[in-house]
Structure 1
Protein backbone atom coordinates (compact mmCIF):
# COMPACT_ATOMS: atom_id res chain seq x y z
CA UNK A 1 0.00 0.00 0.00
CA UNK A 2 1.48 3.33 -1.10
CA UNK A 3 0.50 6.26 1.11
CA UNK A 4 0.72 9.87 -0.06
CA UNK A 5 -0.10 12.75 2.28
CA UNK A 6 -0.85 16.08 0.62
CA UNK A 7 -1.59 19.50 2.06
CA UNK A 8 -5.29 19.89 1.38
CA UNK A 9 -8.32 18.83 -0.65
CA UNK A 10 -7.25 20.71 -3.76
CA UNK A 11 -3.86 19.01 -3.78
CA UNK A 12 -5.56 15.65 -3.23
CA UNK A 13 -7.91 16.24 -6.16
CA UNK A 14 -5.08 17.22 -8.51
CA UNK A 15 -2.88 14.25 -7.60
CA UNK A 16 -5.76 11.80 -7.96
CA UNK A 17 -6.70 13.29 -11.34
CA UNK A 18 -3.09 12.94 -12.54
CA UNK A 19 -3.13 9.24 -11.67
CA UNK A 20 -6.44 8.69 -13.47
CA UNK A 21 -5.27 10.72 -16.46
CA UNK A 22 -2.08 8.67 -16.67
CA UNK A 23 -4.17 5.50 -16.77
CA UNK A 24 -6.29 6.94 -19.59
CA UNK A 25 -3.28 8.11 -21.59
CA UNK A 26 -1.36 4.85 -21.21
CA UNK A 27 -4.44 2.72 -21.94
CA UNK A 28 -7.08 4.69 -23.89
CA UNK A 29 -9.53 1.78 -23.62
CA UNK A 30 -9.24 1.48 -19.86
CA UNK A 31 -12.04 0.22 -17.64
CA UNK A 32 -12.44 2.59 -14.71
CA UNK A 33 -14.32 1.95 -11.50
CA UNK A 34 -15.81 5.20 -10.22
CA UNK A 35 -17.05 6.48 -6.88
CA UNK A 36 -19.56 9.09 -5.75
CA UNK A 37 -19.84 11.27 -2.65
CA UNK A 38 -18.22 14.61 -1.90
CA UNK A 39 -14.59 13.41 -1.96
CA UNK A 40 -14.15 12.68 -5.70
CA UNK A 41 -15.93 15.83 -6.95
CA UNK A 42 -12.69 17.81 -7.06
CA UNK A 43 -10.98 14.99 -8.93
CA UNK A 44 -13.76 14.88 -11.51
CA UNK A 45 -13.50 18.66 -11.94
CA UNK A 46 -9.78 18.30 -12.65
CA UNK A 47 -10.45 15.53 -15.20
CA UNK A 48 -13.04 17.71 -16.95
CA UNK A 49 -10.49 20.54 -17.09
CA UNK A 50 -7.91 18.18 -18.63
CA UNK A 51 -10.45 16.97 -21.19
CA UNK A 52 -11.46 20.48 -22.19
CA UNK A 53 -7.79 21.35 -22.63
CA UNK A 54 -7.21 18.38 -24.92
CA UNK A 55 -4.96 16.48 -22.53
CA UNK A 56 -7.20 13.40 -22.26
CA UNK A 57 -10.33 12.02 -23.88
CA UNK A 58 -12.82 9.44 -22.75
CA UNK A 59 -14.04 8.12 -26.10
CA UNK A 60 -12.59 4.66 -25.49
CA UNK A 61 -13.17 4.52 -21.73
CA UNK A 62 -15.64 2.16 -20.04
CA UNK A 63 -16.85 2.92 -16.51
CA UNK A 64 -18.49 0.97 -13.71
CA UNK A 65 -19.79 2.78 -10.67
CA UNK A 66 -19.43 1.28 -7.24
CA UNK A 67 -23.02 1.60 -6.15
CA UNK A 68 -26.50 3.08 -6.38
CA UNK A 69 -29.28 3.67 -3.89
CA UNK A 70 -32.04 1.07 -3.93
CA UNK A 71 -35.41 2.44 -5.01
CA UNK A 72 -34.32 5.70 -6.65
CA UNK A 73 -35.07 6.46 -10.29
CA UNK A 74 -32.12 7.33 -12.51
CA UNK A 75 -33.40 10.92 -12.87
CA UNK A 76 -33.81 11.43 -9.13
CA UNK A 77 -31.46 14.25 -8.12
CA UNK A 78 -30.14 12.13 -5.23
CA UNK A 79 -29.39 9.10 -7.41
CA UNK A 80 -25.82 8.30 -8.32
CA UNK A 81 -26.85 8.22 -11.98
CA UNK A 82 -27.73 11.91 -11.66
CA UNK A 83 -24.59 12.64 -9.62
CA UNK A 84 -22.28 11.14 -12.24
CA UNK A 85 -24.01 12.94 -15.09
CA UNK A 86 -23.73 16.30 -13.34
CA UNK A 87 -20.19 15.94 -12.03
CA UNK A 88 -18.52 14.10 -14.90
CA UNK A 89 -20.36 12.38 -17.75
CA UNK A 90 -22.23 15.39 -19.17
CA UNK A 91 -18.94 17.27 -19.42
CA UNK A 92 -16.78 14.75 -21.29
CA UNK A 93 -16.93 12.67 -24.48
CA UNK A 94 -17.62 9.26 -22.94
CA UNK A 95 -20.02 7.04 -24.90
CA UNK A 96 -23.30 6.44 -23.10
CA UNK A 97 -23.18 2.72 -23.88
CA UNK A 98 -19.87 2.50 -22.00
CA UNK A 99 -21.34 3.85 -18.75
CA UNK A 100 -22.48 1.27 -16.19
CA UNK A 101 -24.26 2.08 -12.93
CA UNK A 102 -26.39 -0.40 -10.95
CA UNK A 103 -30.13 -0.06 -11.50
CA UNK A 104 -31.72 0.79 -8.17
CA UNK A 105 -35.19 0.17 -9.61
CA UNK A 106 -34.52 -3.28 -11.10
CA UNK A 107 -37.38 -5.73 -10.63
CA UNK A 108 -35.07 -8.54 -9.58
CA UNK A 109 -32.07 -7.46 -7.51
CA UNK A 110 -30.37 -10.86 -7.65
CA UNK A 111 -30.48 -10.80 -11.45
CA UNK A 112 -29.34 -7.16 -11.56
CA UNK A 113 -26.35 -7.88 -9.32
CA UNK A 114 -25.32 -10.94 -11.34
CA UNK A 115 -25.67 -9.07 -14.62
CA UNK A 116 -23.49 -6.27 -13.24
CA UNK A 117 -20.79 -8.77 -12.34
CA UNK A 118 -21.06 -10.34 -15.80
CA UNK A 119 -20.71 -6.93 -17.46
CA UNK A 120 -17.50 -6.22 -15.54
CA UNK A 121 -16.07 -9.58 -16.61
CA UNK A 122 -17.12 -9.05 -20.24
CA UNK A 123 -15.33 -5.69 -20.20
CA UNK A 124 -12.12 -7.43 -19.13
CA UNK A 125 -12.19 -6.41 -15.48
CA UNK A 126 -11.51 -3.06 -13.85
CA UNK A 127 -8.11 -1.52 -14.56
CA UNK A 128 -8.30 1.21 -11.93
CA UNK A 129 -10.88 1.48 -9.16
CA UNK A 130 -11.44 4.84 -7.44
CA UNK A 131 -12.62 4.65 -3.82
CA UNK A 132 -13.55 6.91 -0.96
CA UNK A 133 -13.87 5.70 2.62
CA UNK A 134 -16.74 6.10 5.06
CA UNK A 135 -16.28 7.20 8.65
CA UNK A 136 -17.02 3.62 9.69
CA UNK A 137 -14.46 2.29 7.20
CA UNK A 138 -16.86 1.22 4.48
CA UNK A 139 -15.78 1.15 0.84
CA UNK A 140 -18.50 1.22 -1.75
CA UNK A 141 -21.50 0.56 0.46
CA UNK A 142 -19.86 -2.47 2.08
CA UNK A 143 -20.65 -1.84 5.71
CA UNK A 144 -18.82 -3.31 8.73
CA UNK A 145 -19.37 -7.07 9.02
CA UNK A 146 -19.98 -7.45 5.27
CA UNK A 147 -18.22 -10.59 4.08
CA UNK A 148 -14.97 -10.05 2.20
CA UNK A 149 -15.99 -12.66 -0.39
CA UNK A 150 -19.17 -10.79 -1.40
CA UNK A 151 -19.71 -9.80 -5.02
CA UNK A 152 -22.19 -7.12 -6.17
CA UNK A 153 -25.16 -7.34 -3.80
CA UNK A 154 -27.98 -5.51 -2.03
CA UNK A 155 -26.76 -3.86 1.18
CA UNK A 156 -28.58 -2.68 4.29
CA UNK A 157 -27.05 0.69 5.18
CA UNK A 158 -25.79 1.34 8.70
CA UNK A 159 -27.22 4.15 10.79
CA UNK A 160 -23.84 5.95 10.60
CA UNK A 161 -23.92 5.87 6.81
CA UNK A 162 -27.52 7.06 6.64
CA UNK A 163 -26.73 9.94 9.01
CA UNK A 164 -23.60 10.88 7.04
CA UNK A 165 -25.55 10.95 3.77
CA UNK A 166 -28.52 12.84 5.20
CA UNK A 167 -26.84 16.16 4.30
CA UNK A 168 -27.62 15.43 0.64
CA UNK A 169 -31.37 14.93 1.30
CA UNK A 170 -34.19 17.18 2.54
CA UNK A 171 -34.42 15.08 5.71
CA UNK A 172 -32.88 11.92 7.15
CA UNK A 173 -36.22 10.15 6.62
CA UNK A 174 -35.72 10.43 2.87
CA UNK A 175 -32.32 8.72 2.82
CA UNK A 176 -32.64 5.21 1.33
CA UNK A 177 -31.85 2.44 3.78
CA UNK A 178 -30.53 0.04 1.12
CA UNK A 179 -28.17 0.21 -1.84
CA UNK A 180 -26.69 -1.99 -4.55
CA UNK A 181 -22.93 -2.14 -4.17
CA UNK A 182 -19.96 -3.86 -5.70
CA UNK A 183 -18.79 -6.33 -3.09
CA UNK A 184 -15.38 -6.42 -1.45
CA UNK A 185 -14.34 -9.30 -3.70
CA UNK A 186 -15.37 -7.32 -6.79
CA UNK A 187 -13.32 -4.33 -5.64
CA UNK A 188 -10.30 -6.48 -4.78
CA UNK A 189 -10.30 -7.99 -8.28
CA UNK A 190 -9.42 -4.57 -9.74
CA UNK A 191 -5.88 -4.32 -11.11
CA UNK A 192 -5.16 -1.07 -9.28
CA UNK A 193 -6.99 0.79 -6.51
CA UNK A 194 -6.88 4.51 -5.72
CA UNK A 195 -8.43 5.54 -2.39
CA UNK A 196 -9.01 9.16 -1.40
CA UNK A 197 -9.74 10.58 2.05
CA UNK A 198 -10.15 14.20 3.09
CA UNK A 199 -10.98 15.80 6.41
CA UNK A 200 -10.36 15.08 10.07
CA UNK A 201 -13.61 13.12 10.30
CA UNK A 202 -11.94 10.41 8.18
CA UNK A 203 -8.74 10.26 10.25
CA UNK A 204 -9.74 7.33 12.47
CA UNK A 205 -10.93 5.22 9.53
CA UNK A 206 -7.72 5.99 7.60
CA UNK A 207 -5.58 5.03 10.59
CA UNK A 208 -7.39 1.72 11.12
CA UNK A 209 -7.33 0.95 7.38
CA UNK A 210 -3.54 1.32 7.24
CA UNK A 211 -2.38 0.38 10.73
CA UNK A 212 -5.18 -1.80 12.09
CA UNK A 213 -6.02 -5.48 11.84
CA UNK A 214 -7.60 -6.85 8.69
CA UNK A 215 -11.20 -7.43 9.69
CA UNK A 216 -14.71 -7.13 8.25
CA UNK A 217 -15.38 -4.74 11.16
CA UNK A 218 -13.31 -2.23 9.14
CA UNK A 219 -14.01 -3.14 5.50
CA UNK A 220 -11.26 -0.94 4.02
CA UNK A 221 -8.63 -2.86 6.00
CA UNK A 222 -8.82 -5.61 3.38
CA UNK A 223 -6.96 -3.28 1.01
CA UNK A 224 -3.79 -4.18 2.91
CA UNK A 225 -3.95 -7.48 0.99
CA UNK A 226 -4.10 -5.90 -2.48
CA UNK A 227 -0.87 -5.73 -4.47
CA UNK A 228 -1.37 -2.24 -5.95
CA UNK A 229 -3.14 0.34 -3.78
CA UNK A 230 -2.43 4.07 -3.68
CA UNK A 231 -3.95 5.98 -0.76
CA UNK A 232 -4.01 9.78 -1.00
CA UNK A 233 -5.04 11.69 2.10
CA UNK A 234 -4.86 15.35 3.04
CA UNK A 235 -3.16 16.49 6.23
CA UNK A 236 -6.46 16.61 8.11
CA UNK A 237 -7.25 12.96 7.32
CA UNK A 238 -3.69 11.98 8.26
CA UNK A 239 -3.71 13.44 11.77
CA UNK A 240 -3.56 10.02 13.47
CA UNK A 241 -0.85 8.53 11.26
Structure 2
Protein backbone atom coordinates (compact mmCIF):
# COMPACT_ATOMS: atom_id res chain seq x y z
CA UNK A 1 0.00 0.00 0.00
CA UNK A 2 1.30 3.42 -0.99
CA UNK A 3 0.05 6.48 0.89
CA UNK A 4 0.51 9.83 -0.86
CA UNK A 5 -0.18 13.00 1.12
CA UNK A 6 -0.91 16.07 -1.01
CA UNK A 7 -2.07 19.61 -0.36
CA UNK A 8 -5.66 19.33 -1.56
CA UNK A 9 -8.23 18.18 -4.10
CA UNK A 10 -6.55 19.67 -7.15
CA UNK A 11 -3.19 17.86 -6.89
CA UNK A 12 -4.96 14.66 -5.82
CA UNK A 13 -7.22 14.80 -8.88
CA UNK A 14 -4.24 15.53 -11.14
CA UNK A 15 -2.23 12.59 -9.79
CA UNK A 16 -5.14 10.16 -10.11
CA UNK A 17 -5.82 11.41 -13.63
CA UNK A 18 -2.12 10.96 -14.47
CA UNK A 19 -2.41 7.29 -13.54
CA UNK A 20 -5.55 6.82 -15.61
CA UNK A 21 -4.08 8.68 -18.57
CA UNK A 22 -0.90 6.59 -18.44
CA UNK A 23 -3.05 3.44 -18.39
CA UNK A 24 -5.09 4.56 -21.42
CA UNK A 25 -1.99 5.55 -23.38
CA UNK A 26 -0.60 2.09 -22.68
CA UNK A 27 -3.88 0.17 -23.04
CA UNK A 28 -6.60 2.07 -24.96
CA UNK A 29 -9.21 -0.61 -24.23
CA UNK A 30 -8.60 -0.58 -20.48
CA UNK A 31 -11.34 -1.47 -18.01
CA UNK A 32 -12.06 1.24 -15.44
CA UNK A 33 -13.93 0.89 -12.16
CA UNK A 34 -15.99 4.00 -11.45
CA UNK A 35 -17.04 5.24 -8.03
CA UNK A 36 -19.57 7.90 -7.10
CA UNK A 37 -19.80 10.14 -4.05
CA UNK A 38 -17.89 13.41 -3.76
CA UNK A 39 -14.31 12.04 -3.67
CA UNK A 40 -13.87 11.06 -7.35
CA UNK A 41 -15.67 14.09 -8.84
CA UNK A 42 -12.52 16.25 -9.20
CA UNK A 43 -10.85 13.32 -10.99
CA UNK A 44 -13.69 13.11 -13.49
CA UNK A 45 -13.47 16.85 -14.07
CA UNK A 46 -9.73 16.60 -14.70
CA UNK A 47 -10.19 13.68 -17.11
CA UNK A 48 -12.89 15.58 -19.01
CA UNK A 49 -10.50 18.53 -19.31
CA UNK A 50 -7.75 16.30 -20.67
CA UNK A 51 -10.19 14.77 -23.15
CA UNK A 52 -11.23 18.20 -24.41
CA UNK A 53 -7.80 19.84 -24.29
CA UNK A 54 -5.44 16.98 -25.11
CA UNK A 55 -7.64 14.47 -26.91
CA UNK A 56 -7.42 11.81 -24.21
CA UNK A 57 -9.38 9.01 -25.85
CA UNK A 58 -12.01 6.92 -24.05
CA UNK A 59 -13.62 5.43 -27.16
CA UNK A 60 -12.44 1.87 -26.45
CA UNK A 61 -12.68 2.02 -22.66
CA UNK A 62 -15.07 -0.25 -20.78
CA UNK A 63 -16.29 0.73 -17.34
CA UNK A 64 -18.02 -0.86 -14.37
CA UNK A 65 -19.72 1.07 -11.58
CA UNK A 66 -19.24 0.09 -7.97
CA UNK A 67 -22.81 0.20 -6.75
CA UNK A 68 -26.42 1.28 -7.21
CA UNK A 69 -29.43 2.02 -5.05
CA UNK A 70 -32.25 -0.51 -5.03
CA UNK A 71 -35.63 0.75 -6.17
CA UNK A 72 -34.84 4.21 -7.51
CA UNK A 73 -36.80 4.69 -10.75
CA UNK A 74 -34.92 4.73 -14.03
CA UNK A 75 -33.58 8.22 -14.70
CA UNK A 76 -33.70 9.33 -11.06
CA UNK A 77 -31.02 12.04 -10.76
CA UNK A 78 -29.43 10.36 -7.72
CA UNK A 79 -29.21 6.89 -9.22
CA UNK A 80 -25.55 6.14 -9.61
CA UNK A 81 -25.99 5.31 -13.27
CA UNK A 82 -27.28 8.88 -13.76
CA UNK A 83 -24.53 10.39 -11.60
CA UNK A 84 -21.76 8.65 -13.52
CA UNK A 85 -23.33 9.64 -16.82
CA UNK A 86 -23.75 13.27 -15.75
CA UNK A 87 -20.41 13.71 -14.00
CA UNK A 88 -18.17 11.73 -16.32
CA UNK A 89 -19.22 9.61 -19.27
CA UNK A 90 -21.20 12.34 -21.07
CA UNK A 91 -18.17 14.63 -20.79
CA UNK A 92 -15.82 12.27 -22.63
CA UNK A 93 -16.15 9.97 -25.64
CA UNK A 94 -16.98 6.85 -23.62
CA UNK A 95 -19.61 4.75 -25.39
CA UNK A 96 -22.67 4.40 -23.10
CA UNK A 97 -22.94 0.77 -24.22
CA UNK A 98 -19.57 0.12 -22.58
CA UNK A 99 -20.63 1.42 -19.15
CA UNK A 100 -22.12 -1.20 -16.85
CA UNK A 101 -23.50 -1.04 -13.34
CA UNK A 102 -25.33 -3.25 -10.85
CA UNK A 103 -29.07 -3.30 -11.53
CA UNK A 104 -31.13 -2.01 -8.62
CA UNK A 105 -34.38 -2.59 -10.51
CA UNK A 106 -33.83 -6.20 -11.56
CA UNK A 107 -36.70 -8.60 -10.97
CA UNK A 108 -34.16 -11.21 -9.80
CA UNK A 109 -31.40 -9.25 -8.09
CA UNK A 110 -29.24 -12.25 -7.07
CA UNK A 111 -29.21 -13.47 -10.68
CA UNK A 112 -28.43 -9.94 -11.85
CA UNK A 113 -25.51 -9.77 -9.41
CA UNK A 114 -24.08 -13.01 -10.78
CA UNK A 115 -24.43 -11.69 -14.33
CA UNK A 116 -22.62 -8.50 -13.34
CA UNK A 117 -19.71 -10.50 -11.91
CA UNK A 118 -19.64 -12.57 -15.11
CA UNK A 119 -19.49 -9.38 -17.19
CA UNK A 120 -16.47 -8.10 -15.26
CA UNK A 121 -14.69 -11.41 -15.79
CA UNK A 122 -15.62 -11.46 -19.50
CA UNK A 123 -14.08 -7.99 -19.88
CA UNK A 124 -10.82 -9.32 -18.46
CA UNK A 125 -11.20 -7.76 -15.03
CA UNK A 126 -10.84 -4.17 -13.87
CA UNK A 127 -7.49 -2.54 -14.61
CA UNK A 128 -7.93 0.48 -12.36
CA UNK A 129 -10.62 1.01 -9.73
CA UNK A 130 -11.35 4.45 -8.27
CA UNK A 131 -12.62 4.42 -4.70
CA UNK A 132 -13.78 6.71 -1.94
CA UNK A 133 -14.33 5.69 1.67
CA UNK A 134 -17.19 6.36 4.05
CA UNK A 135 -16.70 7.88 7.48
CA UNK A 136 -17.44 4.42 8.91
CA UNK A 137 -14.94 2.73 6.59
CA UNK A 138 -17.38 1.42 4.04
CA UNK A 139 -15.95 0.68 0.61
CA UNK A 140 -18.45 0.76 -2.19
CA UNK A 141 -21.47 0.02 -0.02
CA UNK A 142 -19.75 -2.73 1.94
CA UNK A 143 -20.83 -1.55 5.36
CA UNK A 144 -19.04 -2.44 8.62
CA UNK A 145 -19.30 -6.17 9.19
CA UNK A 146 -19.15 -7.08 5.50
CA UNK A 147 -17.37 -10.27 4.55
CA UNK A 148 -13.85 -9.56 3.33
CA UNK A 149 -14.43 -12.15 0.59
CA UNK A 150 -17.87 -10.87 -0.46
CA UNK A 151 -19.08 -10.62 -4.05
CA UNK A 152 -21.64 -8.34 -5.70
CA UNK A 153 -24.85 -8.52 -3.68
CA UNK A 154 -27.61 -6.59 -1.89
CA UNK A 155 -26.67 -4.73 1.29
CA UNK A 156 -28.73 -2.82 3.84
CA UNK A 157 -27.37 0.66 4.57
CA UNK A 158 -26.65 1.67 8.12
CA UNK A 159 -28.26 4.90 9.25
CA UNK A 160 -24.98 6.85 9.28
CA UNK A 161 -24.51 6.13 5.57
CA UNK A 162 -28.08 7.19 4.84
CA UNK A 163 -27.55 10.41 6.79
CA UNK A 164 -24.26 11.06 4.97
CA UNK A 165 -26.03 10.64 1.61
CA UNK A 166 -29.15 12.59 2.50
CA UNK A 167 -27.46 15.78 1.24
CA UNK A 168 -27.89 14.44 -2.30
CA UNK A 169 -31.64 13.92 -1.79
CA UNK A 170 -34.41 16.17 -0.58
CA UNK A 171 -34.55 14.50 2.83
CA UNK A 172 -33.34 11.45 4.74
CA UNK A 173 -36.65 9.71 4.10
CA UNK A 174 -35.92 9.70 0.37
CA UNK A 175 -32.63 7.78 0.74
CA UNK A 176 -33.17 4.08 -0.05
CA UNK A 177 -32.42 1.50 2.62
CA UNK A 178 -30.88 -1.03 0.21
CA UNK A 179 -28.18 -1.04 -2.43
CA UNK A 180 -26.47 -3.44 -4.79
CA UNK A 181 -22.70 -3.24 -4.42
CA UNK A 182 -19.58 -4.93 -5.64
CA UNK A 183 -18.21 -7.03 -2.81
CA UNK A 184 -14.86 -6.58 -1.14
CA UNK A 185 -13.61 -9.73 -2.84
CA UNK A 186 -14.69 -8.27 -6.19
CA UNK A 187 -12.90 -4.97 -5.52
CA UNK A 188 -9.71 -6.78 -4.49
CA UNK A 189 -9.50 -8.37 -7.94
CA UNK A 190 -8.92 -5.00 -9.65
CA UNK A 191 -5.29 -4.80 -10.72
CA UNK A 192 -4.80 -1.28 -9.30
CA UNK A 193 -7.01 0.55 -6.82
CA UNK A 194 -6.81 4.27 -6.07
CA UNK A 195 -8.66 5.44 -2.98
CA UNK A 196 -9.21 9.16 -2.39
CA UNK A 197 -10.03 10.67 1.00
CA UNK A 198 -10.03 14.35 1.92
CA UNK A 199 -11.02 16.44 4.90
CA UNK A 200 -10.63 16.15 8.66
CA UNK A 201 -13.82 14.08 8.93
CA UNK A 202 -11.94 11.26 7.15
CA UNK A 203 -8.83 11.36 9.38
CA UNK A 204 -9.84 8.55 11.72
CA UNK A 205 -11.04 6.21 9.00
CA UNK A 206 -7.87 6.84 6.98
CA UNK A 207 -5.81 5.82 9.98
CA UNK A 208 -8.00 2.74 10.50
CA UNK A 209 -7.80 1.57 6.89
CA UNK A 210 -4.06 2.24 6.50
CA UNK A 211 -2.59 1.49 9.93
CA UNK A 212 -5.27 -0.41 11.83
CA UNK A 213 -5.93 -4.13 11.78
CA UNK A 214 -7.59 -5.75 8.78
CA UNK A 215 -11.07 -6.17 10.17
CA UNK A 216 -14.66 -6.22 8.98
CA UNK A 217 -15.51 -3.29 11.27
CA UNK A 218 -13.51 -1.13 8.82
CA UNK A 219 -14.26 -2.67 5.45
CA UNK A 220 -11.71 -0.48 3.65
CA UNK A 221 -8.89 -2.03 5.71
CA UNK A 222 -9.10 -4.99 3.31
CA UNK A 223 -7.02 -2.87 0.92
CA UNK A 224 -4.00 -3.69 3.08
CA UNK A 225 -4.18 -7.09 1.37
CA UNK A 226 -4.12 -5.62 -2.14
CA UNK A 227 -0.82 -5.84 -4.05
CA UNK A 228 -1.26 -2.42 -5.72
CA UNK A 229 -3.31 -0.03 -3.61
CA UNK A 230 -2.71 3.72 -3.73
CA UNK A 231 -4.21 5.93 -1.03
CA UNK A 232 -4.38 9.64 -1.96
CA UNK A 233 -5.16 11.96 0.95
CA UNK A 234 -4.90 15.63 1.82
CA UNK A 235 -3.19 16.96 4.92
CA UNK A 236 -6.41 17.03 6.94
CA UNK A 237 -7.28 13.41 6.15
CA UNK A 238 -3.68 12.41 6.94
CA UNK A 239 -3.62 14.18 10.30
CA UNK A 240 -4.07 11.02 12.41
CA UNK A 241 -1.55 8.84 10.57
CA UNK A 242 1.29 7.74 12.85
CA UNK A 243 3.65 7.21 9.92
CA UNK A 244 2.74 10.36 7.99
CA UNK A 245 6.35 11.59 7.88
CA UNK A 246 7.48 8.24 6.48
CA UNK A 247 4.81 8.35 3.77
CA UNK A 248 5.90 11.85 2.78
CA UNK A 249 9.57 10.82 2.71
CA UNK A 250 8.81 7.73 0.64
CA UNK A 251 6.87 9.66 -1.98
CA UNK A 252 9.37 12.52 -2.16
CA UNK A 253 12.21 10.04 -2.77
CA UNK A 254 10.32 7.68 -5.08
CA UNK A 255 12.23 6.56 -8.20
CA UNK A 256 11.07 8.57 -11.20
CA UNK A 257 10.48 5.41 -13.24
CA UNK A 258 8.17 3.79 -10.73
CA UNK A 259 4.92 5.62 -11.44
CA UNK A 260 1.88 5.54 -9.19
Using structure 1 for the length normalisation, give the TM-score.
Answer: 0.98
Residues matched between the structures, number: 241
TM-aligned CA deviation for residue 55 of structure 1: 4.0
Give CA-to-partner distance per residue, 1:146-179, whole Å, 9 cap, x none.
1111100001001110010011110000001110
Does residue 62 of structure 1 match 2:50?
no
Which consecutive segments of 4 or more residues in structure 1 shift more than 3 A? Answer: none
Unmatched runs of 5 consecutive residues or more in structure 1:
none
- Alpha-carbon RMSD across the aligned residues, in angstroms, is 0.8
SS of 2:187 mapped into structure 1: helix
Using structure 2 for the length normalisation, give the TM-score.
Answer: 0.91
Q: Distance in 1 between matches of 2:131 and 2:98?
A: 20
Give CA-to-partner distance per residue, 1:57-94, whole Å, 9 cap, x none.
10110000000011112310111111011101111111
TM-aligned CA deviation for residue 21 of structure 1: 1.2
Match of 1:188 in 2: 188
Match of 1:176 in 2: 176
Change (3 A) 1:210 1:176: same
Q: Distance in 2 between matches of 1:8 and 1:149?
A: 33
Does residue 212 of structure 1 match 2:212?
yes
**Paired residues for 1:1-241 under 5 Å:** 1-241=1-241
Give CA-to-partner distance per residue, 1:75-134, whole Å, 9 cap, x none.
101111110111011111111211001111111110110000000000001111111000
8 A contact 1:73–1:104 mirrored in 2? no
Q: Distance in 2 between matches of 1:73 and 1:117?
A: 23
SS of 1:53 mapped into structure 2: helix
8 A contact 1:36–1:80 mirrored in 2? yes
